[in-house]
Amino acid sequence: MKDSIIVGLSGGVDSGVAAATLVEQGYQVEGLFMKNWEEDSKYCTSEQDYKDALQICNCLDIPLRSINFSREYWERVFKKFLDEYKLGRTPNPDVLCNTEIKFKAFLNYALELGANKIATGHYAINKSLDGYQNLIKGNDTNKEQSYFLHGLNQKQLSYAIFPLGTWKKENVREKALDLGFLNFNKKDSTGICFIGERHFKKFLKNYIPSKPGIIESCDGYIIGKHDGSMYYTIGQRQGLGIGGVRGTKEMPWYVTDKIVKKNKIIVAQGKDNPQLYHQYLECSDVHWISGYAPKKTKLRAKIRYRGSDSDCKIQLKDSGSIIVGFKNPQFAISPGQSIVFYDKKLCLGGGIINTRWN
């Protein structure tokens, strides 16, 4: 008899097709819908998501369980998310959500139920080779999600299946349509993990009070006001409210730095402005998927999910942090974000960006 697998069903098309492929392969499949955020507005759509997940299970003739991990999400993910923002950093909650909720709380629950494995709709490949679990980039370069999974360890990966690792998104939608899934054309989620899509600054203001301050140009001129430096991100262009400053060129403004202690935002004009680019960074909270640092020092790294891999050289420090030097200066390196390291398509692990310089 084939393994028993519990699939995390979000109500989205990806996890639904992931479940379908496992059913077709003869596994004993169950669905699990996780509610990880208590509804507080129109932005959370868990009720509709649950209905979509249930319709998928009805199509596949598999059972659907539901569990509420809201307390775990609040304690393990959201509190840390808020703490980082209060420090003026830009965290990535999806990375923590995977390590703490999907591949810890969900995994432990599934194992308690007697499952052999869990599966999700992530676009990534998990291969066992030479006694190690290897996380490899998914084949769909536009959708691949190894960046968000770089915090997983060997044990977590040993229980994980990613059925969509070799799929293209358009083929996933075609498959969902063929299977009769009503969500075959459902929009991809782009909001904070499990919280949904909403006006981000307004959402943050529910938890972090406004603190007005000044916006200063990189050459020292006060050119505007803001309502809290923690609401802004390095490299941000939209929502600054400083267009048409007298004596300046008609070019867009970008956030180049945040001086949190002074509650000050520094901006510069033009995406090519040197103030936006840095060649070195230091990262901490480093995690290697294999459990060991790589022997190679010349790697490739990604400093944001939608960024490109860039050539770099790493230097391991006794403190456990890493100094990263890029071949070419990088745009908008943001403290708090994850940097993820690769050897070709193999995801090695990553860390949290602390500082950057030239």
* 209-233 pLDDT tens trace: 999 999 999 999 999 999 999 999 9
State whether 163 and 235 are in the same domain: no
The CATH number of whichever domain residue 233 belongs to comes to 2.30.30.280
The CATH number of whichever domain residue 139 belongs to comes to 3.40.50.620
Least confident of 23-27, 69-73, 185-189: 185-189
The CATH number of whichever domain residue 322 belongs to comes to 2.40.30.10
Show which of 163, 179, 195 is a domain's final residue: 179
| Catalytic residue status for 218 | no
State whether 76 and 143 are in the same domain: yes
Nearest to 358 by CA among 247, 285, 291, 280: 280
State whether 297 and 244 are in the same domain: no
State whether 130 and 21 are in the same domain: yes
Report yes or no: 82 and 96 within 8 Å, Cβ to Cβ. no
What pLDDT is attached to residue 344? 97
The pLDDT of 337-356, averaged and rounded, is 98
Query: Residue 305: pLDDT above 80?
Result: yes
Is residue 318 in a domain?
yes
Total domain count, the chain: 3
What pLDDT is attached to residue 203? 85
Identify the band that residue 250 occupies on the pLDDT scale cut at 50, 70 and 90. confident
Q: What is the pTM of this model?
A: 0.95
Show which of 272, 297, 327 is a domain's final residue: 272
State whether 265 and 337 are in the same domain: no
163: exposed, middle or buried (Cβ count in 10 Å: 0-12, 13-18, 19+)? buried
| Cβ neighbours of residue 59 closer than 8 Å, sequence gap 6 or more | 179, 180, 181
| Catalytic residue status for 347 | no
306: exposed, middle or buried (Cβ count in 10 Å: 0-12, 13-18, 19+)? exposed
Interval 110-165: pLDDT, tens: 999 999 999 999 999 999 998 899 999 999 999 999 999 999 999 999 999 999 99
What pLDDT is attached to residue 166? 98
What pLDDT is attached to residue 68? 95
Report yes or no: 121 and 12 within 8 Å, Cβ to Cβ. yes
Query: Residue 241: pLDDT above 90?
Result: no
Is residue 218 in a domain?
yes
Beta strands in the chain (DSSP E): 4-8, 28-35, 64-68, 117-119, 124-129, 132-137, 160-161, 213-217, 222-226, 253-259, 264-269, 277-288, 298-302, 310-316, 322-331, 338-343, 346-357
Show which of 272, 287, 316 is a domain's final residue: 272
What domain range is 144 assigned to?
A: 4-179
Q: Catalytic one among 44, 57, 97, 347?
A: 97
Is residue 204 in a domain?
no
Identify the band that residue 37 occupies on the pLDDT scale cut at 50, 70 and 90. confident
State whether 250 and 311 are in the same domain: no
Is residue 198 in a domain?
no
- Measured CA to CA in angstroms, residue 276 lies from 221, 222, 266 at distances of 18, 19, 11
Higher pLDDT among residues 199 and 52, named by residue: 52
State whether 248 and 333 are in the same domain: no
Is residue 199 in a domain?
no
Interval 92-113: pLDDT, tens: 999 999 999 999 999 999 999 9
Identify the band that residue 249 occupies on the pLDDT scale cut at 50, 70 and 90. confident
State whether 130 and 247 are in the same domain: no
What pLDDT is attached to residue 63? 98
Q: Catalytic one among 44, 193, 283, 347?
A: 193
